[in-house]
Amino acid sequence: MRSMINAKQLTHEFFRRDEEGNVEGISVALDHVDLDVEPGQFIAILGHNGSGKSTLAKHINALLTPSEGTLIVDGKDVSNPSNTLDIRETAGMVFQNPDNQIIATVVEEDVGFGPENIGVPTEEIWQRVESALKGVGMWKYRSHSPNRLSGGQKQRVAIAGVMAMEPKCIILDEPTAMLDPDGRAEVIRVAHELNKKKGITVILITHYMEEVVGADYVYVMEKGHIIMDGTPREIFSRVSELIAHRLTVPQITLLAHELKKSGMDIPDGILTREELIEALCR
């Protein structure tokens, strides 16, 4: 099977310039990254601030191009400018702040904006808008003003906007950072649903470890490198290592780890409350 995303030695350098525009320094935001994502996978990316997560995400969407190495998205090389439009149709991006992504004054127009922009015929636009809004459970809000929705609802509209482009892959860059617990759960649930029901490849970037538990595979970045990868259970079994890399584990995993250190007989890599209760009451 062809990879959805394949990075080989992907490197990105940002040039820092002083006031006169002279190059003052270079930040290597991505440093020879190798990564392979199969179609239909649900991938999570963790890493400290400035580790290169958003820079990686922006390459997958052809907002940035590699300084070195290659990145192939669904068979297309992002370095080739003639692929840019195709790649943006294949991979859609949702950002952290829902307010910055909403353009129109009515929900359905907002969702229709993307497809219209890429020249989808009017009739088909409305079909796509309907199925996208139904997909995220926001159909009944179609004629509302996006400004009056809650953060979780706004973020679902932003996801619908990306879905209406019918991408094969959605990249969510800290989509829940500004949401309340309910909104956060909602967005993660919708992402899993799109992944399961429509086979859309999902790349989730987050600082909330709880949101990673349901992913198929996790990559951990540090200073532009991928330093760990594995299933959530494999990754979250390495508690001290994660903490040393500025990360953490879900609160329940940490509690299990602490109880084990206090002498209780509890297995590594506990991810959920059910698993911990099972282990405690055995």
Ligand X SMILES: Nc1ncnc2c1ncn2[C@@H]1O[C@H](COP(=O)(O)OP(=O)(O)OP(=O)(O)O)[C@@H](O)[C@H]1O
Which residue number, 205 or 252, has a Cβ lying nearer to Mg ion? 205
10 Å Cβ neighbour count for 179?
21
Residue type at 243?
A: I
Q: Is 151 an interacting residue with respect to other proteins (CB under 8 A)? A: yes
Q: Is 207 an interacting residue with respect to other proteins (CB under 8 A)? A: yes
Q: Is 206 an interacting residue with respect to Mg ion (CB under 5 A)? A: no
Q: Is 146 an interacting residue with respect to ligand X (CB under 6 A)? A: no
**Phi, psi for residue 70 in degrees, rounded to 5:** -130, 155
Out of 19, 22, 25, 49, the residue judged to bind ligand X by CB under 6 A: 49
Structure-derived torsion over alpha carbons of residues 64, 65, 69, 75, reported in degrees to the nearest 10: 100
User: Using CB under 8 A as the criterion, what x/- string covers residues 212-251 for binding other proteins?
Assistant: -------------------------------x--xxx-xx
Part of the chain binding other proteins (CB under 8 A), chosen from 4-12, 16-24, 66-74, 196-204: 16-24
Residue that the structure tokens 């390495």 belong to? 238
Cross-strand bridge partners of residue 230: 218
Cβ neighbors of 280 (< 8 A, separation 6 or more) are 259, 264, 266
d(CA 12, CA 148): 39
Out of 9, 97, 131, 231, the residue judged to bind other proteins by CB under 8 A: 97
Enumerate residues 27-56 that contact Mg ion by CB under 5 A.
54
Query: Least distance from C-beta 49 to ligand X, angstroms?
Result: 3
Selection from Mg ion, ligand X, other proteins, none that 84 binds (CB < 5 to 8 A by kind) is: none
Out of 69, 112, 115, 151, the residue judged to bind ligand X by CB under 6 A: 151
Q: Is 27 an interacting residue with respect to ligand X (CB under 6 A)? A: yes
Out of 34, 68, 241, 258, the residue judged to bind other proteins by CB under 8 A: 258
Residue that the structure tokens 């006031």 belong to? 19
Out of 66, 69, 152, 175, the residue judged to bind other proteins by CB under 8 A: 152
Kindly write down the DSSP assignment for every residue of 78-133, as one continuous string: TTSGGGHHHHHHHEEEE-S-GGGG--SSSHHHHHHHHHHHTT--HHHHHHHHHHHH
d(CA 78, CA 88): 10
Which residue number, 47 or 135, has a Cβ lying nearer to other proteins? 47
Contact 33, 60 (CB under 8 A): no
Part of the chain binding other proteins (CB under 8 A), chosen from 115-123, 124-132, 150-158, 187-195: 150-158
d(CA 256, CA 262): 10
Contact 224, 212 (CB under 8 A): no
Binding residues for ligand X, per CB under 6 A? 14, 16, 27, 29, 47, 49-55, 148, 151, 180
Binding residues for other proteins, per CB under 8 A? 14, 16, 19, 24-25, 47-51, 54, 96-97, 148, 150-152, 174, 177-184, 207, 209-210, 243, 246-248, 250-252, 254-255, 258-259, 262, 264, 273, 276-277, 280-282
